[in-house]
Amino acid sequence: MSVVPGPSSSLRHEAVSFAGVVERNWYLIKRYGWWELAFFFWSLANTLTIVFIAKGIKAAGGQIDVNRATTTLLIGAVIWSFLGLVFEFMTETVAWERWEGTIEYTFMAPIRRPVHLAGVGIFAVLYGVLRSAVLFVVIALMFGLHMPDANFLAAAIVLAIASISFMGIGTMTSVLPLISPEKGAQLGFIAQGTLLVISGVYYPVSVLPGWMQWLSTISPATYALRGIRHAILDGAGITSLWGDIWPLIIIGVIAFPLGVWIFKQGEIYAKKHGKLKRSG
Amino acid sequence: MFAVEVDNLRKEFFRRDAARTHMRKRRRRVAALEDVTFTMERGECLAILGQNGSGKSTLVRLLSTLLLPDGGTATIFGHDVVRDSRSVQRLVNRVSVEASFFKKMSSEENLSYAARFYGMGPTETREKIPRILSRVGFPRDRKHEGMEHLSRGMQQKVALARALLTSPVLLLLDEPTTGLDPRSKLEVQDFIREVRRTHDATILLCTHDLQEAEILADRIGILDRGRLIALASADELKERYKADTLEDAFFSATGRSFEEEDEDAERGVFA
Ligand SMILES: Nc1ncnc2c1ncn2[C@@H]1O[C@H](COP(=O)(O)OP(=O)(O)OP(=O)(O)O)[C@@H](O)[C@H]1O
Ligand SMILES: [Mg+2]
């Protein structure tokens, strides 16, 4: 007697589970629709505080190409907001499930953890891309920015490749609410800030002290920011961006499996010490 | 092959002492489950009776792969809960005291999310979810309402539906009727009986309710401070402890009254 289905149905099973994660997140976003709008205005305000800096320097008598400087800052601010969304969304998924108590049901279901986490991550990235794109367009229009040479397709490809690493880092941060439900979710912000400060979010990496410059070489955000700026400001294509793309591929290939491995360790710890339960 | 085979199963938790020694809070290991051994036949309904903190939920969590044991083994239809957890997960589902749903999502959305992880696609759930919801007596017109608007009894029915949706061979029920009003309680109990009749399901039912155990289960296990001190049919238990009622049998077996939910200082009941 065999009560367990065979491996033939396994691939379909993974695909359905994966779609389930995406579907669930869609339901939640739908239910909290008005909050989306409120948070969008918050990120808009945040981004504006940065983007006005270029005009401010000019007004103070600085010699600066306002259009180029504003676009440079805008790209940094939009990536900042994008990473914030991705990390927050990924940590939040675990924190939220813990809060609702559904995490026990998710963790006792026959789903492979990499599939589960990839589902969460890909949704977070798509959602982040959508909101960041709107943010970018709104501000570019507000400032009447000219981007005559921009190669948006190349920029999107760089972002997509970088997102594999971002998903990996997001997975690492999402392990924390598993261990500390109250404070763990905050760690997304720490990861976001640390990553961006060493990656030249509003300045070239060359202005950083030596040890930070060294760190910037292993940060995927460094290559993402530089590649996207190159594509949007100078119209660089994929071939001239290769120098930023190959490090992203290498970091991504390491970061996502590493993230899943770390998450798995967190899960084992939680199952050893009874951290998944809320009550009963 | 047994449906469930538990051998010397043991689980400990760290517990912080209130008292400090040398400026540090002491941590002690406290056994929630000690050397529990039993088997279940396919199709059997076994009730586990025990006071608060006796280890009922710990046992259920070990069998549903939510906790890793500190000793002993447990197998579900021959699959080890630690080494072969994915096979176990496909066979098992669970209903706990707390319904645990995404409050803003509707019952239908919650159920389809849960079903996806068991490989059930949209075509399948579109057909199965309404059917199972109507079987547990869930009103049709409320299936788009957020869970937060449903009563506890209603939520518990959706929880039963969630567990059955995946056609589990082993159904773990952890106090499924605790906190329900008498009517909802009867409805849920009726439904459990119906599931036994119509599904090929083996049921482990943890409960505080002696009557519930007596009417639903083939055999009753008494769990006391993490130890399984008796396991037999209700009649056999009464005979063994020379008692007229199950309550008296429980009293004789544990050496205290069933109602007497004393805070057991040594074990530290905070479950
Ligand atoms: N996750 C956990 N972390 C620490 N201690 C735990 C944990 N889960 C259970 N315990 C302890 O293990 C013991 C058994 O708890 P368990 O929840 O299994 O009891 P129970 O029989 O289900 O009780 P109740 O009737 O209150 O639900 C208790 O002393 C409890 O405090
Ligand atoms: Mg319990």
Q: What distance in Å separates the CA atoms of residue B171 and residue A87, rounded to the nearest whole number?
A: 36
Query: Does residue B252 fall inside a structural domain?
Result: yes
Q: How many folded domains does chain B comprise? A: 1
Query: Does residue B28 fall inside a structural domain?
Result: yes
Residue A20 near chain B (CB below 8 Å): yes
The answer to whether the Cβ–Cβ distance between B100 and A105 falls below 8 Å is: yes
Query: Does residue B135 fall inside a structural domain?
Result: yes
- Chain A, residues 201-260, CB within 8 A of chain B, namely none
Query: Does residue B41 fall inside a structural domain?
Result: yes
Gyration radius of chain A's alpha carbons: 20
In this complex, the residue of B97, B113, B175 whose CB is nearest that of residue A24 is B113
Decide: A170 and A252 in contact? Cβ < 8 Å: no
Residue A30 near chain B (CB below 8 Å): no
Decide: B204 and B4 in contact? Cβ < 8 Å: yes
For residue B118, which residues of chain A lie inside 8 Å, CB to CB? 13, 109-110
What range defines the domain where residue B161 resides? 4-266
Q: pLDDT tens digits for B129-153?
A: 999 998 888 888 898 899 999 998 8
pLDDT number for residue A4: 52
- Dihedrals phi, psi of B216, to nearest 5 degrees: -95, -30
Residue of the CA atom closest to atom 3 of ligand 1? A274
The answer to whether the Cβ–Cβ distance between A16 and B121 falls below 8 Å is: yes
A266 Cα–ligand 2 center, Å: 24
Query: Does residue B46 fall inside a structural domain?
Result: yes
Q: pLDDT tens digits for B27-61?
A: 788 899 999 999 999 999 999 999 899 999 999 99
Q: How confident is the model at residue A235 (pLDDT cuts 50, 70, 90)?
A: very high
Residue of the CA atom closest to atom 12 of ligand 1? B32
DSSP B140-153: GGGTTSBGGGS-HH
Q: What distance in Å separates the CA atoms of residue B81 and residue B184, rounded to the nearest whole number?
A: 33
The DSSP output letter for A219 is -
**Plot region of B35 (φ>0 → left; ψ -120 to 50 → alpha; else → beta):** left
Q: What distance in Å separates the CA atoms of residue A44 and residue A40, rounded to the nearest whole number?
A: 6
Site from A94, A105, A268 to mutate, B interface, most B CB atoms within 10 angstroms: A105
Query: Does residue B224 fall inside a structural domain?
Result: yes
Tokens representing B74 are: 């447990």
In this complex, the residue of A1, A13, A108 whose CB is nearest that of residue B94 is A108
In this complex, the residue of A12, A110, A273 whose CB is nearest that of residue B14 is A273
- Chain B, residues 32-91, CB within 8 A of chain A, namely 57-58, 61, 64-68, 77, 79, 86-87, 89-91
Q: What distance in Å separates the CA atoms of residue A40 and residue A24, rounded to the nearest whole number?
A: 21
Q: How far is CA A187 from each of CA A20, A124, A174, B46, rounded to the nearest angstrom?
A: 26, 16, 8, 44
Can you say whether the dihedral through the CA atoms of B211, B216, B221, B224 is positive or negative? negative
Does the pLDDT at position B268 exceed 50? no
Mean pLDDT, to the nearest integer, of B243-261?
Answer: 79
> For residue B114, what is the domain's CATH number?
3.40.50.300
Q: What distance in Å separates the CA atoms of residue B265 and residue B258, rounded to the nearest whole number?
A: 17
Q: In the sheet where B71-76 sits, what is the strand order?
A: B24-40, B4-21, B71-76, B79-80
- Nearest residue of A to residue B32 by CA position? A274
- Nearest residue of A to residue B95 by CA position? A105
Q: Rounding to the nearest 10 degrees, give the CA dihedral for residues B113, B82, A168, A246.
A: -120
Residues within a 6 A CB radius of ligand 1: A 274, 277, 280; B 13, 32, 50, 52-58, 267-271
Site from A14, A24, A28 to mutate, B interface, most B CB atoms within 10 angstroms: A24
Tokens representing B154 are: 């209603």
Percentage of the residues of chain B whose pLDDT score is greater than 70: 91
Q: How far is CA B205 from each of CA A34, A101, B107, rounded to the nearest angstrom?
A: 43, 20, 24
Tokens representing B230 are: 């008796």
The answer to whether the Cβ–Cβ distance between A108 and B86 falls below 8 Å is: no
Distance from CA of B10 to the nearest CA of A (A): 12
Percentage of the residues of chain B whose pLDDT score is greater than 90: 63
Judged by DSSP in three states, B19 sits in strand
Q: What distance in Å separates the CA atoms of residue B104 and residue B102, rounded to the nearest whole number?
A: 6
Report which secondary-structure segment, H or E, holds B5: strand B4-21
Q: Which ligand is nearest to the CA of B270?
A: 1
Does the pLDDT at position A279 exceed 80? no
- Chain B, residues 87-106, CB within 8 A of chain A, namely 87, 89-94, 96-98, 100-105
Tokens representing B244 are: 């007229």
Q: What distance in Å separates the CA atoms of residue A165 and residue A83, rounded to the nearest whole number?
A: 11
- Chain B, residues 158-217, CB within 8 A of chain A, namely 162, 169, 174-175
Tokens representing B149 are: 């608007």
Q: Which ligand is nearest to the CA of B50?
A: 1
Q: List Cβ neighbours of B176 (8 Å cut-off, separation of 6 or more).
A: B95, B96, B97, B156, B159, B160, B188, B192, B205, B207
Q: How confident is the model at residue A277 (pLDDT cuts 50, 70, 90)?
A: confident
Choice between B153 and B220, residue whose per-residue pLDDT is larger: B220
Neighbours of A10 (CB within 10 A): 14
Mean pLDDT, to the nearest integer, of B87-108?
Answer: 92
Tokens representing A4 are: 């367990």
The answer to whether the Cβ–Cβ distance between A17 and B119 falls below 8 Å is: yes
* Amino acid in position B72: G
Q: What distance in Å separates the CA atoms of residue B91 and residue A4, rounded to the nearest whole number?
A: 7
Give the lowest-confidence range in A21-25, A83-87, A162-166.
A21-25
Can you say whether the dihedral through the CA atoms of B59, B64, B65, B66 is positive or negative? negative
Question: Burial code of A201-220, b = ≥16 C-beta within 10 A, e = fewer?
Answer: bbeebeebeeeeeebbeebb
Q: What distance in Å separates the CA atoms of residue B213 and residue A124, rounded to the nearest whole number?
A: 46
Tokens representing B204 are: 């482990």
pLDDT number for residue A5: 52
Unique residue bearing structure tokens 């009753």: B220
Question: Burial code of A21-31, b = ≥16 C-beta within 10 A, e = fewer?
Answer: bebbbebbeeb
Q: pLDDT tens digits for B54-94?
A: 999 999 999 999 999 999 999 999 999 999 999 999 999 99
In this complex, the residue of B64, B103, B119 whose CB is nearest that of residue A9 is B119
Q: What distance in Å separates the CA atoms of residue A173 and residue A178, rounded to the nearest whole number?
A: 10
- Nearest residue of B to residue A7 by CA position? B87
Does the pLDDT at position A1 exceed 70? no
Give the lowest-confidence range in A42-51, A173-182, A217-226, B97-106.
A173-182
Tokens representing B126 are: 């579109």
Q: pLDDT tens digits for A81-130?
A: 999 999 988 988 888 888 888 999 999 999 999 999 999 999 999 999 99
Query: Does residue B271 fall inside a structural domain?
Result: no
Residue of B4, B3, B2, B68 whose CA lies nearest to B228: B4
CB pairs A-B closer than 8 Å: 122
Q: What distance in Å separates the CA atoms of residue A40 and residue B133, rounded to the nearest whole number?
A: 38
Judged by DSSP in three states, A58 sits in helix
- Chain B, residues 216-235, CB within 8 A of chain A, namely none
Q: How confident is the model at residue A31 (pLDDT cuts 50, 70, 90)?
A: confident
Residue of A150, A157, A108, A109 whose CA lies nearest to A129: A157
Judged by DSSP in three states, B69 sits in coil
Does the pLDDT at position A183 exceed 80? no
Mean of the per-residue pLDDT values for chain B? 89
